[in-house]
Structure 1
């Protein structure tokens, strides 16, 4: 109790004794005085800085700077007062730092770091990825090549904010490709989407988080799959040459900030957007990742439309039932012929109304199905076309590695290129597998020997297990036949064994057993990994879902493996069960009918 009281009064002392000593102080001066003030010029830009109706602030950038304040207190014992000053536009925020700034003044407005701007102000290390996409209203056709862009975009109007990178990229497009489109300007980046939606034929650049938020809100915009921009990143700006670069960069590189950043992204953007941005920032193909995310949102809208149709049918049936009941009562009270005539007219009107509503819902549903099919085809074509250059890279790497005159460093670089191309090939194959499962395209089943398939899978993963000093035990004596497709069975066992190796600590053992019971073959995969929490067990079969357990040797995980296992097991008319608890390992069991 005494310790709690001490902490409480320490916090009170911190807040009530933080003096306002002006913002024209260097970091060196603040270190000597053990206190100081930072003036932060900002502009409200959701979800980075949000001003509430009562004037309070929240958002990713706000929490970042509050975290900086506590970082200085915890590490250096320095009390800092944050003086927040709102400005009406990016131009004013940047101009205040560029023209005669004080030492203790920062600027925040999701400011993209560019080489030209580095000549004018000082920049911190980036605190958030800078990815911008070209967005238009849905009346503009999807452009698939630069030639189509040059031929058609002259008739459209761009929306931008003056003196920002949005404006810079649009002007570069206009000059580079000689497309003389008009540009209209808004005051802030929050007005770009409303500006695009004001009238048909408008487009513009916008940040990836704001595009995904607009997409989740079902706004009538779409992404043009050409000319994306990946910048250096968003940074804090300050006086050029200021020694405040030292503590802010130290803070942005600290574990404390990484935890704060990850929680902030999940809080303001959601887990899905956090995973997507992380995938792109770590080097995965951004076009493919965005297509998958957009397809997921289309699937979600299809489900919602289907639900609306069902609800409409239910309401319609209830309405018809109520009308019938009303007119039955009226039939008993009034003249039979008059009531019958009126009832027929009302029922006819309701029937026509219902038919019109059903026709509109059916038309919308067909449009969504066509859009879903178009995205499926585009993903399949893109994945298929990627394989040829990937295989060429792998083959060329193999030829280069055969040269006896290479140095050890050169051989290592060639092997790294080959490994990365194989990893990319596997990712493309996984995406095609997911699309094939969702389209439910199966081939004729035949009798398959489980033992043969499992032995081949174990053989393929022996080296991966040896690298982690993991022992593989296979108990599958005899012949165990099932009806199915070898490719499906191979993918099921491959994903289960790969996960077991990936999440098992060094030196553990993995058991694979085939048991015959009640006319079924039970195939068990048991590992000594960290196990799964109840929350993870509810999420593990969702696509692109990353669980709390992490691979023990830093392996990569796409979040597709268990969803593929579940789908293929269902197609094989099998049953997938599991037993797991935190720190006690996991056992997955696939049950298939014996032949």
Structure 2
């Protein structure tokens, strides 16, 4: 994506030389500042020898590759990939490797920083691997293909012929990043095709994409991944069909002769790398874009296969773009409706203008004979102009009504807003929206406004076919009646009594129909006066019906999604509670089994001494066999054999217990992992982000210092999950939960601080015991088994750590976990 061009040979030598001196001076100042404020970084050999050290990663904000979030954490394809590489190297060396992430503003800053450092630094921002850069910087192996395309605003036409594209694009302003492969592509176009091309610079890819999306006069090159990501976020962009390029790939950069290249390259060459990076790209770009990138980047030397690949690329891109743009279909419908209204107004305007011209023509011939008639005509013109002004004002009001309605996600709010807006626009004493309930086979009106009276929860049975509302819904047709008392015979055979209020004279019913032609309800305005509505007001109401239908569909979709999300959250909480209960039961069974084995060992051990004495005594008696007769000898020998059998059984029991203890100790030792405290905490905070947002609770992370701990990773995760879950569970809405990490002389200290109700001294005494239900209650109706904190204490003590609580009633709580570090 980015490539340095030091000299431009098309300029005179003196200008080139002065430019070179200026760049050299700027670079010297930058290097001086960098050396006085640089972060510490260590070589691979040093960290391998000392088992500790730090490295620095310089990056430019570039979604979806690497970016920082508002809560202080980071994300992106390159961020997760590089963090995983360093995590593996920590385990391989059993070393503490700190990563410092430092943002820079421009590509020149990033390039100069990496090219002038010695070792232990890296650069990231979705950087293109090119041969021209290898003289000053080095690359790790490419991790994904690099396809560069031309994009423009949706206001710019998509050209089907290169000739038209070349002509049009030279009249627009191109935007690019200085010294990038984007600029290289533009320079090539300017030299070969677009000789009149002009372009300007921005600092980074995000500025480039925003500049193009927000202007109908700009265009430029960008990476296919950046384009797909921006398109999925709703930016108004489109892809032009010509001059696409494919580079060697995207890669992480590092200084020449860096000792890190060889060990980190092993990560790329492992058999697990391809599935890993494939899943990671899918996470940020989606399945279809990811499949498309891999498919169209396959190696081939055949011109026929290259042609097929180009066709495959174009078909794939068009398919993905079409699916994303389908999401905007609703907005397009609104725009078409507004355009139709404007077209009608223009027709009226042209008619009035033609009429005015005709009147002027006749005025020249009849001016002396028709002064009175001329005054009347002038009055008509003024009335028409006033009508046009009112129509334009109504059009603006109609647009605002659409925005107000589609912004609501509650059916009741939609009905109330619709009534207020329509009543102000056309004046309607009676208003209602009926929604079809398939279960009850009824048209249900949550609210019916009749003058100053509000009627709630009224319904029409769908079997009452003489109801105008039922007729409108069944036939999917409008009903427009100017005087119901005389015209009702054209619609119904008999007049039924209304469900509430009185019969109206002027009536408009409009069906609300989805895109699949399925009706979802009806919309009506009525008046007790005859001829209260004309065709102009009918047209306004038709447009408002479109807004109402879209708003109701949005509300229905949001309601379904919200219910599913709530069910998933409840199921997750239930699973966590069941998990805690199962683990507690398992621990009880293990404890009972250990106590049984211990008791069995005590009994066996205590039997050995009296049994040994008995064997000794019988052996002495058996040695003096001359003193006993045959029967007595047989009794002594039989008893001695029985004692030996019993002694052998006891020895087998003790030997079995000893073997079991050794196996258990070996299992416990093998279950420990080496991992940084920040990785554990960050993983838990990411998992609970959605849960906290639903309760309007802000999760914070404060990493004052970090370190490696040797713990059972699963148990440590469960400890932090229990503490963070409790903090969210017992905190009121609108508060915050902050997790901090700090290295003390003896421990890594992890603190979870909430703004909940606090814990009394009495409750603190039984805090870490089993099955304890404390005074504070969950603020969101969640359940609590009373086992979580007892499990926390058990696991922390097994890992050689400590846990404590500091709290006052009404002041929140702070739970501190102390773990020994390497």
TM-score by length of 1: 0.50
After superposition, residues 104-503 of structure 1 pair within 5 angstroms as 104-282=120-298, 284=309, 285-299=312-326, 301-302=328-329, 322=432, 326-327=449-450, 344-345=531-532, 350-356=537-543
What displacement does 1:64 show? 1.3
What displacement does 1:343 show? 7.3
**Residues 67 and 355 (structure 1), Cα distance of their counterparts in 2 relative to 1, 3 Å cut:** same
Q: Which residue of 1 aligns with 2:610?
A: none
1:324-348 deviations in whole A, cap 9, x for unaligned? 96458989699999x9576754676
Q: Which residue of 2 aligns with 1:379?
A: none
1:66 maps to 2:83: yes
- 8 Å CA contact retained: 1:130, 1:234: yes
- 8 Å CA contact retained: 1:42, 1:108: yes
Gaps of 5+ in 2: 1-37, 300-308, 338-404, 420-429, 435-447, 454-499, 507-525, 550-822
What displacement does 1:304 show? 8.5
**Residues 30 and 336 (structure 1), Cα distance of their counterparts in 2 relative to 1, 3 Å cut:** closer
Please give the alpha-carbon distance, in whole angstroms, between the structure 2 residues aligned to 1:30 and 1:323: 71
**SS at structure 2 position matched to 1:136:** strand
Please give the alpha-carbon distance, in whole angstroms, between the structure 1 residues aligned to 2:42 and 2:501: 91
Q: Which residue of 2 aligns with 1:81?
A: 98
- 8 Å CA contact retained: 2:128, 2:251: yes
- 8 Å CA contact retained: 2:126, 2:250: yes
1:175-204 deviations in whole A, cap 9, x for unaligned? 221432221222211112220133212111
Please give the alpha-carbon distance, in whole angstroms, between the structure 2 residues aligned to 1:335 and 1:293: 51
Q: Which residue of 2 aligns with 1:92?
A: 109
What displacement does 1:307 show? 12
What displacement does 1:290 show? 1.0
Please give the alpha-carbon distance, in whole angstroms, between the structure 2 residues aligned to 1:323 and 1:83: 59
Q: Which residue of 1 aligns with 2:54?
A: 37
**Residues 82 and 112 (structure 1), Cα distance of their counterparts in 2 relative to 1, 3 Å cut:** same
1:460-518 deviations in whole A, cap 9, x for unaligned? xxxxxxxxxxxxxxxxxxxxxxxxxxxxxxxxxxxxxxxxxxxxxxxxxxxxxxxxxxx
Please give the alpha-carbon distance, in whole angstroms, between the structure 2 residues aligned to 1:333 and 1:143: 61
- 8 Å CA contact retained: 1:159, 1:184: yes
Please give the alpha-carbon distance, in whole angstroms, between the structure 2 residues aligned to 1:75 and 1:130: 31
What displacement does 1:350 show? 4.9
Please give the alpha-carbon distance, in whole angstroms, between the structure 1 residues aligned to 2:449 and 2:91: 74
Please give the alpha-carbon distance, in whole angstroms, between the structure 2 residues aligned to 1:219 and 1:204: 15
Please give the alpha-carbon distance, in whole angstroms, between the structure 1 residues aligned to 2:123 and 2:78: 11
Q: Which stretch of structure 1 is more off in the superposition, 269-278 or 167-176?
A: 269-278
What displacement does 1:125 show? 0.8
**SS at structure 1 position matched to 2:283:** helix
**SS at structure 2 position matched to 1:41:** strand
- 8 Å CA contact retained: 1:150, 1:179: no
After superposition, residues 5-44 of structure 1 pair within 5 angstroms as 23-44=40-61
Please give the alpha-carbon distance, in whole angstroms, between the structure 2 residues aligned to 1:136 and 1:88: 24
What displacement does 1:77 show? 3.3
1:514-543 deviations in whole A, cap 9, x for unaligned? xxxxxxxxxxxxxxxxxxxxxxxxxxxxxx
Gaps of 5+ in 1: 1-20, 363-595
- 8 Å CA contact retained: 2:56, 2:100: yes
**Residues 144 and 118 (structure 1), Cα distance of their counterparts in 2 relative to 1, 3 Å cut:** farther
Q: Relative contact order, CA 8 A, sep 6+: which one is greater?
A: 1
- 8 Å CA contact retained: 2:118, 2:258: no
What displacement does 1:265 show? 1.6
**Residues 241 and 335 (structure 1), Cα distance of their counterparts in 2 relative to 1, 3 Å cut:** closer
**SS at structure 2 position matched to 1:232:** strand
1:24-82 deviations in whole A, cap 9, x for unaligned? 54333332333322111112211111211132212111111211111212334343211
**SS at structure 2 position matched to 1:53:** coil
What displacement does 1:213 show? 2.1
**Residues 261 and 307 (structure 1), Cα distance of their counterparts in 2 relative to 1, 3 Å cut:** farther
**Rg bigger for which structure?**
2
**Residues 359 and 66 (structure 1), Cα distance of their counterparts in 2 relative to 1, 3 Å cut:** closer
Aligned-residue CA RMSD in angstroms? 4.0
- 8 Å CA contact retained: 1:212, 1:273: yes
- 8 Å CA contact retained: 1:280, 1:289: no
- 8 Å CA contact retained: 2:504, 2:529: no
**Residues 303 and 282 (structure 1), Cα distance of their counterparts in 2 relative to 1, 3 Å cut:** farther
Please give the alpha-carbon distance, in whole angstroms, between the structure 2 residues aligned to 1:282 and 1:270: 19
Please give the alpha-carbon distance, in whole angstroms, between the structure 2 residues aligned to 1:25 and 1:352: 73
- 8 Å CA contact retained: 1:327, 1:343: no
What displacement does 1:112 show? 0.7
Return the match for 2:65 from 44, 48, 59.
Answer: 48
Q: Which stretch of structure 1 is more off in the superposition, 319-328 or 110-119?
A: 319-328
Q: Which residue of 2 aligns with 1:369?
A: none
Please give the alpha-carbon distance, in whole angstroms, between the structure 1 residues aligned to 2:534 and 2:449: 12
Q: Which residue of 1 aligns with 2:663?
A: none
